[in-house]
Chain A
Amino acid sequence: MTAIDPTAHLTAEQIEELGRELDAIRDDVLASRGEKDAAYIRKVISAQRKLELVSRGVLLFSIFPPAWVLGTAGLSVAKIMDNMEIGHNILHGQWDWMRDPKIHSTTWEWDHVSPSDQWKHSHNELHHKYTNVIGKDNDLGYGIMRVDEDQKWHPFHLGQPLWNFLNACFFEYGIAAYDLELGKNLHKRRRKNPEFRSRAKAVGRKIRKQVLKDYVIHPLLSGPSFLPTLAATFTANLVRNLWSHSVIMCGHFPEGVQVFERRSIKGETRGQWYLRQMMGSANISGSKAMHFMTGNLSHQIEHHLFPDLPSNRYAEVAVKVRALFEKYELEYVTGPLPKQVFSAWHKVVRLSLPNKKPKLKTPAREQEVLAA
């Protein structure tokens, strides 16, 4: 964390020009979106379904260790594909333009215990609009962790390495609780709120279906392979949870990522919003396979700038975005997965302890906004 605003050298005009340049990148992709992109997502969906079918089929014989290993690996990958490259991106509306009612943000349901509509609200609406704004974006530590010096320390944070680990293992449940704003809603009399109750019921229904499928029906179908199949689905869910948690931690937690004061977004212009997304996100570098398995969230910066562009286009967009970072002398935070995961965990551990003096940065442009 720096006490110096890394964007201080930019004038208001430059920030608006940056916004226009980013809009131009977006327009280029929109204009060339077409058949190839549609074929891409259909192919991914079809591959995911086939992989899941085959893996589940193999697990019927999971009493034999090689079948267990093969089926568990396949199912883990299938679940990761479902959540990352398919679910997350469809629910962002990235494929709504195809007008295919089956591949649409309003109809898609994913292999996850949080119902799509609740996740869309907390993720698409709150997190993506208020990226890294303390007090507005609950993704900053998911309400259970302190991930920036500017956040107030509380003795509860001493345990945050443990909370983070548990959250990683049961990530989908953590997300469901988070989407329900469970922490806030279980307090006081809020839990009786009918709106909360109906949302909690929806989560309950979804959990029941998911658990029944993974831990009852499929093991039962496996007959003598009941227990190995149970262990396999549990493992696949665990692998998927650990993987998605790691990827998502890399998006906003690594060192070098900025957080913002609630005041700083008052009267924010489009250019300033773009700049906040640029400074508030971090990428993961790596191979094509790595980008695919992260659901292209390895291009977190590009995703935050253009959350509704098809994920298969982020790689080409990244080249242009990175050039803008250089042009405007901004730091493009990126690195290989192990490095970024370590960096994020390091921060979680470090900030479990209080820091001496939280320094509040008040960027020059914020002064201007406040003065205006």
Chain B
Amino acid sequence: MTSTALRSRAWKLLEMVTTPLLPSDYLDLVSPLRAGADLRGRIEAVHPETGDAATIVIRPGRGWRGHTAGQYVRIGVDVDGVRLWRAYSLTSPTNRRDGRVTITVKAIPDGKVSNHLVRRVKPGTLIHLDQATGDFVLPRTKPAKVLYLTAGSGITPVMGMLRDTEFDDVVMVHCAPRPQDVIFRNDLHDLVADTKLRLTEVHTDTDGMLDIARLDELVPDWAERETWACGPAGLLDAAEKHWAEHGVPERLHTERFRPTVVVAGDGGEVTFSTTGRTVDADGATPLLDIGEAAGVLMPSGCRMGICFGCTTPLTAGAVRDLRTGEITEAEPGVLIQTCVSAAAGPCAIER
């Protein structure tokens, strides 16, 4: 018998020992970061960067497969007891000796997770991780000239690149409201001092928003440079237009942080994603009734919110709890009780 087969037999036996739980349920008590466990990480330190941004140092579990500079990672953090998932760019180089990775988070107004990470989270906290992902990365072959065009927290994936790979000729144009709002300002100026980077800071509070046409003056050879741009949609839209107009769209690589903006309304179009049916719903009728009326096979139970027999994944949009008025927005893994939830704007449920 091969060792894999032997191991799977042994595991089966172990499962019989621990039924109805799994061996991992017990192993997680002592070794949550071990190989083979669900991927987690431990927060080891939180370093403030600016007034509202901080770098979080994470020791990933043994299952972490590493990342490529520029990629992001989804993390699951418990905020007020509720697990919430968000994506953040990795800001550490890929060859960090101690195996730690860092993300750099800017607290956005009313951002549950970002404020928690920047201001409240304590070293030692376990978080959940997905593997790194994203195609906003550097190419295998080094380009001769590079331009990084960033604004606000758009600097985070680029910082990961800057720290990871040295180029002969790198220019960066970065926009932030004021000098003290520039995340990684010290690191950037160190790179400038070492002549590893030419940096132009645009302080939008005093200079105004960056007019993309100014690039001709700031970086005269911009069109010859392989460019990575990350920042607000306005900047990226302007850049894409600008590069296309000058016939070099293939030189521009962009990354958009897409905050899911859900506008909670009163009723809306409900999509049953499995059956592909779409119907209009008002803001007072339970989604269970809406689905049944549309001929969708809906699991149901007590029909009054107490048995949890109708829970269904909410895949897009928002719903309102008809008993409390509470709004629940779609996120991966969010389940709703269809018998006491009504559409709060357009939404989609997995049925």
Interface residues of A (CB under 8 A from B): 23, 27, 30, 33-39, 46, 49-50, 53, 92-93, 96-102, 104-106, 109-111, 120-121, 124-125, 128-129, 206, 209-210, 212-213, 217-218, 221, 273, 307-308
List chain A residues, Cβ under 8 A from B308. Answer: 92-93, 96, 105-106, 120, 124, 308
- Contact, CB under 8 Å: A46 / B335: no
CA distance A348 to B142 in the complex (A): 84
- Chain A residues, Cβ within 8 Å of B311: 93, 96, 105-106
Residues on the A chain within 8 Å of B301, using CB: 121, 124-125
Provide the residues of chain A in CB contact with B84, threshold 8 Å.
99
Q: Check: B309 CB closer than 8 A to any chain A CB.
A: yes
A100 touches B307 (CB 8 A): no
- Give the residue of A97, A124, A128, A308 whose beta carbon is less than 8 angstroms from that of B82: A97
Pairs across A and B, CB under 8 Å, 21 listed = A30-B324, A49-B25, A93-B311, A93-B337, A97-B82, A98-B78, A98-B82, A98-B83, A100-B78, A104-B335, A105-B308, A106-B311, A110-B20, A111-B20, A120-B308, A124-B301, A125-B307, A128-B306, A212-B19, A213-B16, A307-B306
Cβ contact within 8 Å between A109 and B83: no
Could you tell me the dominant secondary structure of chain A's interface residues?
Answer: helix
Whole-angstrom distance between the Cβ of B31 and the nearest chain A Cβ = 14
Whether a CB of chain A sits under 8 angstroms from the CB of B302 is yes
Given known contacts A96-B335, A129-B306, is B16 in contact with A46 (CB within 8 Å)? no
A96 to B81, CA, bound (A): 11
Let me know if A209 and B19 touch, CB within 8 A: yes
B80 closest partner in A (C-beta): A34
Determine the chain A residues whose CB is within 8 A of the CB of B20 once the complex forms: 109-111, 206, 209-210
A103 nearest CB neighbor, chain B only: B83
Which one of B19, B26, B80, B307 contacts A53 once the chains associate, using CB atoms below 8 Å? B26
Least CB distance from A96 to B in Å reads 7
Complex contacts, B337 vs chain A, CB 8 Å: 93
Interface string of B293-304 (1 = CB under 8 A from A): 000000001101
Kindly state the separation between the CA atoms of A34 and B311 in the bound complex, as whole angstroms.
21
Across the interface, do A38 and B306 meet the contact criterion of CB distance under 8 Å? no
Given A34-B80, A35-B80, A97-B81, 12 other A-B residues pairs in contact with their CB atoms under 8 A: A34-B81, A46-B29, A93-B311, A99-B83, A99-B84, A99-B334, A101-B333, A105-B308, A124-B301, A125-B307, A213-B16, A213-B17
Interface of B is mostly: loop
Nearest 5 CB-CB pairings of A with B: A38-B81, A93-B308, A124-B307, A109-B20, A125-B307
User: Cβ of B16 and Cβ of A209 under 8 Å apart?
Assistant: yes
* Chain B residues whose C-beta falls within 8 Å of the C-beta of A96 in the assembled complex: 308, 311, 335
Residue in chain A with minimal CB distance to B84: A99
CA distance A146 to B327 in the complex (A): 45
| In the complex, B305 has a CB within 8 A of chain A | yes
Query: A96-B311, A209-B20, A213-B17 are contacts. A129–B302 as well, Cβ < 8 Å?
Result: yes
Distance in angstroms from B7 CB to nearest chain A CB is 18
Closest Cβ of chain A to B8, distance in Å, is 17
A361, chain B: closest CB distance, angstroms: 25
Q: Which residues of B contact A106 (CB under 8 A)?
A: 308, 311, 335
CA distance A175 to B179 in the complex (A): 68
CB pair B78 A38 closer than 8 Å: yes
Contacting A120 at CB < 8 Å: which of B82, B307, B335? Answer: B307
Q: How far is the CA of A50 from the CA of B21 in the complex (A)?
A: 13
A99 near B82 (CB under 8 angstroms)? yes
- Separation of A218 and B14 alpha carbons in the complex (Å): 11
Interface residues of B in 23-59 (CB under 8 A from A): 25-26, 29
Q: Which residue of B lies closest to A31 (CB)?
A: B324
Q: Which of chain B's residues have a CB closer than 8 A to the CB of A34? A: 80-81
Residues of chain B contacted by A307 (CB below 8 angstroms): 306
Q: Are B26 and A212 within 8 A (Cβ)?
A: no
Chain B residues whose C-beta falls within 8 Å of the C-beta of A105 in the assembled complex: 308, 311
Q: How far is the CA of A105 from the CA of B312 in the complex (A)?
A: 12
List A contacts of B19 (CB < 8 A).
209-210, 212-213
| A49, B309: Cα distance in complex, Å | 27
A30 cross-chain contacts in B, Cβ below 8 A? 324, 326
